[in-house]
Structure 1
């Protein structure tokens, strides 16, 4: 890939799939095809009184706007037809629902090929192309790790004549392959006695040892009292291991409340076809509230009651079961942002959280750029940035440099792309910031809908559950981080901070106020 455009799409895809990518550069939304499935699912939930009319209406309107812009769905006529049906009712098993399902299937058939064609033209921004392709591959079941390896390898080793459009076409071929069936054994180190009549997935120690000896004759086998043997259908081995980790988490939680005897799994598992055992402990969802440490609030025994409660409710979002993560994280947001007069409009918490995170996004990106420049260069700007102690001061100085119109460049493509995004944002904040708030509000409202499905219907099978946890967890952490900082440093309540964000965002671009100061 020789063109800057191709490099930009490729680097952003690697950002989306990288485990260490900061929240401000990750994907915040699901793909359009999955959002269509989510809407159809929401229609069923509405008829069982789990979701409200307002919730469905918001999702429908938001999705319709996405469909209009998403060239992967089809040409203008095809998109218009789908938008027309989205505006109608969602009665389960009704004519309109069947029409939407059919149109969605047609869209999926060549979704990536259409985006490849657009990438070949190079007219749609690299950011839009990468988000569409990146989210679609995750939403059909590929793991971040597998996709990162795939794009890294093909981006580096494909023929020089191959461009990003060719790689997207290869990814389309990859997406049509059937799922792979994986046989996976998780040894157990402690378990209650197994009943005589049991699911064949539960192996006693003798059967587990025989299985390990047959499939892994040269491997050192762990000490075990039995094993769980599961068959998983997945897109790749990383995804299969993630699914097993979820099964182990659920079973461990079940046994914790169902018996006084412990069920303890070994920290590695064995996959037929792989040479060695795999660690499988579920990776944290990266809920990061570093303000607790920066302000020493982590040692404060007298944190405000609402923040103290929110932090406790938030803990499962980082590594807990999906049910606890969804219910706890929304409860934390609602506790912070629903105040006097808001009792009948609890979803307003999603809007308020979105505004705070949008303001935080600007500061996070400018801070990353300032620190990156200070490390990479040795000119006067880099010297001034290194002389500043606080990240806030560095971000403010870097924003001033962009506003002054002075030439700034970076060697790394990722920083160049981030600089382009921030330069455009600073030039037209009144146009771009509302779109950022809108994307974030979509994500937090999705969390609210998932919470209602979990709490009111006990539904843990939503098509959007896994994607919600993947996209929203870092965003919740970013918002709570700003709330803790505002409380510890400025003695501001969450409601007060949300009011500041709303007022400042409403007047952005009019008074020339620095964007780093949006939460001030």
Structure 2
């Protein structure tokens, strides 16, 4: 009997890798180094089509859209599921046009997107059945991004894949994903109780979706929700169309934020204070959005998280560093509404990674390139350090003892890199995390075998994403809109990347006072010299 292709074999390392990485990419709490770094192909094409309408309004520069077009050509070259050879030729021809608002190219692009989007995941399911299938990382990234871009939530996809799909062959898992996407969204009824709602007796009780306090309390009690200690003034219910319950709650959270934004403009009052939990289909769940995971861990690691205002603070003379300013500006990335989160995230990067003498033709978007270099240089050590803490003691090896003797994470990471290069594997702790760690070992093996190509690919993905943040910021601030087709997805993928860049900048500032632009220059040179005899090691790219 002939051996089936690895994409059709549920026991193959290939199929396991695809399933594991789809789980990683749909885990809201995954570290930045293991998350999705970009949106999916078709949402990116939608964004490119939309960009043509912003150029005449001076919201986006034609140069920015041209860069976007050329990047899209490269992305499509790495995506075999976009369509047939004839379709791909047509799409490449369209992408070589200017895509201005009234152009034939832009009209053709709209047609091509709408034609090829259906069946995209089914085509990926066919791609992995070939004798030489695409890289499992590429497959998992495309599938997970397409599902998230299409309106599924992190939690909903986690539940779906853990429901007996973790051990399917790659082609069967992707076929199941295609079937999931073909299901129509549901309409969910969500009731949001409030502790306070400004002047609700006058301006809320007449609304058709208003629920009086007595009825809200009764509904809560029917859901076995003890409301005796809750001060409920009433509730509002919404019908929300979504692909899963968790996404419906996220949309309800956004609606509450819109209420709060409006209430801030009232002259007086108590504002809008939701209870913090909602009823969805008579089930009690927290009112929350998934964490955006923009983390600057070096503040706590260097014990500087609360190191502020050690001296006397005088009016108009408060000592602040550019790093403090940037962290405050970017703080909305984790908790703020969409518009300030996008604007603040980009403003933090721009304030630290640009200067007045930068070439005019690159404008402030050069911050995206510099931040991408920082993030790319940080990635190997982030992965290797994480792996160093997942190693178990194994017979015939003293690796755990050597790791225990390391005094810094840099030493631990370098030791793990040497171990992978020499032996090709690590003895890993057996836990629910092990498949994710195993996939990380595979990525590190690929990196060690071809440093320039892999790091170049990582930098490209990150820069594409951060330039998308720049364009999103322009749509918000110059276009006055938060309705951009890719704004929500942009924040989902870029918040952790901005956090990673700010973390490296903050660490360099705390440890030795390195200026952000000097740090970025080091990262740029390290990547350019990656295969040179004078190049720094993978764990020292920006040290």
TM-score under structure 2 normalisation? 0.90
What is the CA–CA distance in structure 2 between the aligned matches of 1:425 and 1:114, rounded to whole Å?
28
Residue in structure 1 matching 2:336, options 320, 329, 350: 320
Q: Paired residue for 1:519?
A: 542
Deviation of 1:93 after TM superposition, in Å, equals 4.7
1:227 equivalent in structure 2 = 235
Contact between 2:385 and 2:412, CA under 8 Å: does it hold in 1? Answer: yes
1:452 is matched with which residue? Answer: 474
Tell me which residue corresponds to 2:367. 349
**C-alpha displacement at 1:349, in angstroms?**
0.5
Structure 2 runs not aligned, ≥5 long: 1-9, 310-318
Partner Cα distance (2:216, 2:102) in 1: 46
Shift in alpha-carbon separation, 1:218–1:334, aligned structure 2, 3 A: closer
Structure 1 residues 217 and 246, CA, compared in 2 at 3 Å: closer, same or farther?
A: closer
| Match status 1:134 vs 2:144 | yes
Cα shift at 1:304: 5.9
Deviations 1:326-360 (A, max 9, x none): 11111100110012402742110000000000001
Matched, 1:99 2:108: yes
Shift in Å at residue 153 of structure 1? 1.2
- Measure the CA separation in 2 of the matches of 1:68 and 1:349: 26
Give the whole-Å Cα distance in 2 for the aligned partners of 1:377 and 1:185: 57
Q: Which SS does the other structure have where 2:55 is aligned? A: helix
Greater fraction of residues in helix = 1
Aligned: 1:268 with 2:277? yes
Partner of 2:258: 250
- The structural deviation recorded for 1:377 is 7.7
Mapped contact 2:28–2:291 kept (Cα < 8 A): no
Give how far 1:203 is off.
3.6
Equivalent of 2:197, from 188, 191, 197?
191
Please give the residue correspondences for 1:100-499 in structure 2 after superposition, counting only pairs within 5 Å. Answer: 100-121=109-130, 123-156=133-166, 162-194=168-200, 195=202, 199-206=207-214, 208-209=216-217, 212=219, 216=222, 219-221=225-227, 222-262=230-270, 263-272=272-281, 274=282, 276-301=283-308, 305-342=321-358, 344=360, 345-373=363-391, 379-404=397-422, 408-410=426-428, 412-499=434-521
- 8 A contact 1:90–1:97 mirrored in 2: yes
How far, CA to CA, are the matches of 2:387 and 2:541 in structure 1? Answer: 18
Q: Distance in 2 between matches of 1:390 and 1:238?
A: 40
Instruction: Provide the residue aligned with 2:5 in structure 1.
Output: none
Would you say the 8 A contact 2:223–2:284 is kept in 1? no
Partner residue, 1:42:
51
**Per-residue CA distance 1:439-465 (angstroms, 9 max, x = gap):** 110111011000000011111011111
Q: Secondary structure, in 3 states, of the residue corresponding to 1:472?
A: helix
How far apart are residue 155 of structure 1 and its match?
A: 1.9
Q: Hey, what's the Cα distance between the residues in 1 that align with 2:474 and 2:539?
A: 35
Q: Is the 8 A contact 2:374 2:542 kept in 1?
A: yes
* 8 Å Cα contact 2:210-2:234 kept in structure 1: yes
SS in 1 for 2:232: coil
Shift of residue 107, structure 1, vs aligned partner: 1.2
Instruction: Choose which of 53, 60, 69 in structure 2 pairs with 1:51.
Output: 60
Q: CA deviation at 1:400?
A: 2.8
Contact between 2:20 and 2:439, CA under 8 Å: does it hold in 1? Answer: no
Give the 3 Å change call, closer, same or farther, for CA 385–217 of structure 1 in structure 2. Answer: closer
In the alignment, the residues of structure 2 paired with residue 34 and residue 486 of structure 1 have an alpha-carbon distance, to the nearest angstrom, of: 36
> 1:27: which partner in 2?
36
**Structure 1 residues 19 and 458, CA, compared in 2 at 3 Å: closer, same or farther?**
same
Answer with 321-330 or 379-388: which moved more.
379-388
Query: SS at the partner of 2:305?
Result: helix
Which whole-Å deviations, capped at 9, do the CAs of 1:259-318 have from their partners, x for residues lacking one? Answer: 43122111110112x4x3111133331111110011122233378621010010011001
Q: Which shows bigger deviation, 340-349 or 113-122?
A: 340-349
* TM-score normalised by L of structure 1: 0.93
CA distance in structure 2 between the aligned counterparts of 1:91 and 1:126, rounded to whole angstroms:
36
The 3-state SS of whatever aligns with 1:181 is strand
After alignment, is 507-516 or 337-346 more displaced? Answer: 337-346
Q: Which runs of 5+ in 1 are unaligned?
A: none
8 Å CA contact 1:374, 1:385 repeated in 2: no
The residue aligned with 1:84 is 93
Deviations 1:43-73 (A, max 9, x none): 1111211000111001111111112221221
* Partner deviation per Cα, 1:98-152 (whole Å, 9 max, x = no partner): 2111111121111000000112226211111101101000000000101011011
The equivalent residue for 2:315 is: none
